[in-house]
Amino acid sequence: MATNYVLVDFENVQPDLSMLAHTTFKVKVFFGAKQQEGRVPFKLLDAMLALGGNVEPIKVMRTGKNAVDMHIAYYIGRLVEKEAAAEIHIISGDSDFDTLVDYLKSKGVKCKRAKTITEIAKQAAAAKAHAHATTARTARASAPARKPHNDKLARIIKQLHSLSGKPSTRKKLAQTIANYFRHHGGPQEDSAVEQIIDELIRMKYVSQDGTKVSYHLA
C-alpha cells in the first residue's frame, strides 16, 4: 500500500492536525522562521503528540517570501525519489503550488493541494475502515469450519437460536437445556447437560467468562 505524506505549510494555514491521529498518514509540518519565535499553543502540541511517530516538525531557518514553499518542494522531490508510488498532500492556501502539482501529476505522481485537512482525514478514515474490513474478511475466510455436531447438539443450537432472551449464565443455560429435553425426548442427567455445554463452548457456539455466557450462533 502506498504511503500517504501530508506536507503542511504551517506559515500559511494552521489545520487541526489531530484529525490525522491514529492513521498511517505521515505528516511533515513546515514552520517559518518567524513562527519559531513565539510560544507553541497547547492545541498544536497536543495534536502533534497524538500523531506520535507519524509527525515530523521541519524548521525553515531562512526568511523570505517563498522560503517555506521551496523547502516543501525540496521534500516532495526527495519523497518521490524514495517512494515513487507515494501519495503527496500539500496543505496550503498558496495557489503557487498548483503549477508544481500539475507538473508532478503529468509525471505520474499522485499529488494534490488542499486548504484544509478535512478531506484528507476522510480519506484516512475510509482507508482505515477498508483495512479493518479486509482483515475481518481474511479472518473469516481462514477460520476453521466447525465440525458437524450430533443431532442432540443441533437441536439445542436451534432452540437457542429461537430464544429472544438467552440465558446469561452457565447455570441458567443448564436449566434451559434440561427443560428443553424434559419436554422433547426425556430428562437428561446433569452430567449430560454439562457435557452439552462444554461441547457448545468447544465448538465456539458459546463462550464463558466466569459464570457469564455469551453466544455466537450465526
pLDDT of residue 119: 86
Q: Based on the fold, state whether residues 31 and 101 are members of the same structural domain.
A: yes
Does 187 lie in the same domain as 113? Answer: no
Q: State whether 109 and 178 are in the same domain.
A: no
Same domain, 136 and 191: no
Number of domains within the chain = 2
Q: Please give the pLDDT value at position 56.
A: 96
Where in the sequence is the domain holding 195, given as residue range(s)?
151-215
Instruction: Indicate the helix (H) or strand (E) that contains 111.
Output: strand 110-114
Rounded CA Rg of the chain: 29
> Do 166 and 129 sit in the same domain of this protein?
no
Tell me, what CATH number does 173's domain have? 1.10.10.10
CATH number for the domain spanning 119: value is 3.40.50
- The per-residue pLDDT of the chain, averaged, comes to 89
Is residue 202 assigned to a domain? yes
Greatest CA separation for the chain = 91
Query: Over 90: is that where the pLDDT of 73 sits?
Result: yes
Q: Find out whether 104 and 80 touch, Cβ atoms under 8 Å.
A: yes
Structure confidence at residue 129 as a pLDDT band (50, 70, 90) = confident
Q: Which residue has the higher pLDDT, 152 or 25?
A: 25
Look at residues 107, 140, 173 and tell me which one is the last residue of a structural domain: 140
Cβ-contact 111, 105 below 8 angstroms: yes
Residue 136 sits in the same domain as residue 157? no
Alpha-carbon span 174 to 194, nearest angstrom: 7
- Give the whole-angstrom CA distance, residue 192 versus residue 190: 5
146 falls within a domain: no
Residue among 111, 119, 114 nearest 92 (CA):
114
- For residue 8, give Cα distances in angstroms to 5, 51, 173: 10, 14, 58
pLDDT band at 135 (very low <50, low <70, confident <90, very high): confident
User: CA 40 to CA 62: how far, in whole Å?
Assistant: 19
Grid cell at residue 58: 521541519
Q: Are residues 197 and 121 in the same domain?
A: no
Listed as own residue / partner, the contacts of 141-150 with beta carbons closer than 8 Å and 24 or more positions apart are 146/203, 146/204, 146/205, 147/203, 149/199, 149/203
Query: Which pLDDT score, from 0 to 100, does residue 164 have?
Result: 87
Residue where one domain finishes, among candidates 121, 140, 159: 140
pLDDT for 139 beyond 80: no
Rounded to the nearest 5°, which phi and psi values hold at 212? -80, 150
Q: Which residues of 18-57 are buried (b: 16+ CB within 10 A; e: fewer)?
A: bbbbebebbbbbbbbeeeeeeeeeeebeebbeebeebbee
pLDDT, residue 55, reads 95
Per-residue confidence band for 62, with pLDDT thresholds at 50, 70 and 90: confident
Cell numbers given for 126: 475510509
Residues 29 and 104 reside in one and the same domain:
yes
Helices assigned H by DSSP within 66-211: 67-82, 97-106, 118-142, 151-162, 170-183, 190-202
Mean pLDDT across 140-158: 72
Whole-number Å distance between alpha carbons of 218 and 205: 8
Note whether 34 and 64 are same-domain residues.
yes
Q: Residue 142: what pLDDT?
A: 59
Asked if residue 21 belongs to a domain, the reply is yes
Residues 76 and 101: their CA atoms lie apart, in Å, by 10
145 lies in some domain = no
For residue 197, being part of any structural domain is answered with: yes
- Same domain membership, residue 129 and residue 26: yes
Which residue, of 89, 119, 140, is where some domain finishes?
Answer: 140
Determine the pLDDT at residue 217: 86
